[in-house]
Amino acid sequence: MNFLHNVVWLLILIGVMILVHELGHFWAARLFDVKVEVFSFGFGPRLFGFRRGETDYRFSAILFGGYVKMAGEQPGDEGVEDPRAFLAKARWQRLVIAAAGPFMNIVLAVGLLTGLFMVKYEKVVDPETHAVVGHVLADSPAAKAGIRDGDRIVAIDGNQNPTWEDIRLKEIAGAGTQLGVLVEREGKTFHTTVTPVLEDKAGLGSAGWSARADVQLGALSPGMPAEKSGLKKGDLLISANGQPIHSVLRFHEIIRGSKGQPISIQVMRDGQVKTIEVHPVFTKLDGPERWMIGAGVEQRLKFAVTKLSFPNALRESVSQNARLSAVIIEFLRGIVERRISPRNLEGPIRIGQLSGEAAREGPSTFIMLMSMVSLNLAIFNLLPIPILDGGVILLLLVEMFMRRDLSLPVKEAFFKVGFVFIMVIVVFVLYNDISKILPAG
């Protein structure tokens, strides 16, 4: 049942992305009086549709994508001599048409969050925003940099007064890169450098530190010790074996260092303190074998829910999208520089799962996901890869610089390489999605 639910919400998500993206190309083409022959949801054979004016609006067999077919779009096409053909237009006009699709996805990302924040804006009010370190793993990059539990991160990589979200984003994208850190301890500050390492499992940078915050139990694995002992999702962790829990990493460290010995866990539930004994088991659920109890652990954040005026909502939306854009670009750069594992790329299967999960959590979560996917799609399409909008823009910029057209064989070779590259990416992300679903052998 969840599978069908995920598929439905994935189609809704992808449908909106396609509609907005292709409308960008369509409207820009109409603005410059380019003849649009086809506006298609999906690729491949035409399933059904209707014709209005000179344009065939259709649904095609493969729904994961879409396109706008303009007259005279490629050299050798019929109608290339038509003054309304795409290639008959000035290069700057063709560049605007190519850029209009990603631009509309950016507009959608900003618009969705603006509308959401005018209805519901959640601001974190937890002390975690003060960037206090809850725990540092032994022999981790943070430990080697001299950082200790209780230190406060005043600045990281030029970012002043960062939240833990800012710190984590720098960390995951900074594997193998020295990050300058300004640390405050007992009223005094000092500078140090932290070089996150690449985690084999997650494929992301890790410095081995975590926020000082309240920690609660997340989802429990059926049949595992946490569930059997009576722990419940949402329990607030107070201590484990008498040691206070102010960090997700600290709790994991205690579990994995138990060597199978029972652990006395003190939790707060419904205003009452309970002490529960749990016996870890040596097994694997999502990685190598280790001692575990089968419980997710997460920070418990406190939010103040309010509504923003349109100007403030727009300002916050632009700010959040700008931060996310910087993270996406840094993430892609990390993959190219082989500092971040490409296993973190998500394909249609994983996006389908996320769509279903977001829809089940509520409209605001789904809108947040749609905004994020739209921004990712815009940035991906602007990459200078042949057959993508960014590839078209790159060729046009080269021709504008040279003041002449590139030869047809050069353009054909450029787009053939791009097609092969995109197919390789498609196969990889599908394999990546499937490998995350299948149990480890």
Q: What is the pLDDT of residue 76?
A: 65
DSSP class of 259: T
332 in any annotated domain: yes
pLDDT of 441 higher than 50: no
Non-local CB neighbours of 88 within 8 Å, separated by 6+ positions: 72, 80, 81, 82
Residues 323, 389: one domain?
yes
Q: What is the pLDDT of residue 67?
A: 85
Range of the structural domain that residue 177 is part of: 127-211
CB 302 within 8 A of CB 125: yes
Q: What is the pLDDT of residue 97?
A: 95
pLDDT category of residue 437 using cuts at 50, 70 and 90: low
Residues 340, 406: one domain?
yes
Among 369, 349, 350, 372, CA closest to 359: 369
Q: Give the whole-angstrom CA distance, residue 5 versus residue 359.
A: 9
pLDDT category of residue 161 using cuts at 50, 70 and 90: confident
pLDDT digits (tens, 9 = 90+) for 62-78: 776 788 889 887 766 67
Residues 415, 353: one domain?
yes
6 in any annotated domain: no
Q: What is the pLDDT of residue 1?
A: 59
Among 395, 373, 325, CA closest to 98: 395
Residues 238, 269: one domain?
yes
Residues 417, 438: one domain?
yes
291 in any annotated domain: yes
CB 198 within 8 A of CB 340: yes
Residues 336, 428: one domain?
yes
336 in any annotated domain: yes
Highest mean pLDDT among 38-42, 132-136, 162-166, 192-196: 192-196
Residues 95, 109: one domain?
yes
Q: What share of the chain is helix, strand, coil (3-state, %, to 5)?
A: 45, 25, 30
pLDDT category of residue 414 using cuts at 50, 70 and 90: confident
Q: Which tops the pLDDT comparison, 441 or 4?
A: 4
Report in angstroms the alpha-carbon separations of 58 from 29, 44, 86: 18, 11, 21
Non-local CB neighbours of 64 within 8 Å, separated by 6+ positions: 14, 42, 43, 348
Residues 223, 284: one domain?
yes
pLDDT category of residue 202 using cuts at 50, 70 and 90: low
32 in any annotated domain: no
Residues 334, 437: one domain?
yes
* Residue where a domain stops, chosen among 300, 326, 350: 300
Q: Which residues are catalytic?
A: 22
60 in any annotated domain: no
Average pLDDT over the chain, rounded to an integer: 85
CB 71 within 8 A of CB 79: yes
* Residue range 130-136: mean pLDDT, rounded: 87
CATH number at residue 196: 2.30.42.10
Q: What is the pTM of this model?
A: 0.76
Q: Give the whole-angstrom CA distance, residue 192 versus residue 212.
A: 20
Residues 276, 329: one domain?
no
DSSP class of 57: E
Residues 134, 201: one domain?
yes
* Residue where a domain stops, chosen among 278, 300, 322: 300
Q: What is the pLDDT of residue 438?
A: 60
Q: Give the whole-angstrom CA distance, residue 305 versus residue 54.
A: 49
* Residue range 276-286: mean pLDDT, rounded: 83
Q: Give the whole-angstrom CA distance, residue 176 versus residue 3.
A: 38
| H-run or E-run covering 205 | strand 205-206
Q: What is the pLDDT of residue 212?
A: 86
438 in any annotated domain: yes
Among 331, 318, 428, 319, CA closest to 380: 331
198 in any annotated domain: yes
Sign of CA dihedral 340, 343, 346, 347: positive
Q: What percent of the chain has pLDDT over 70?
A: 92
* Residue where a domain stops, chosen among 191, 211, 231: 211
Residues 171, 246: one domain?
no
And the tokens for 188?
């005094």
Q: Give the whole-angstrom CA distance, residue 9 versus residue 365.
A: 13
Number of domains in the chain: 3
pLDDT of 440 higher than 60: no
Q: Give the whole-angstrom CA distance, residue 103 versus residue 382.
A: 9
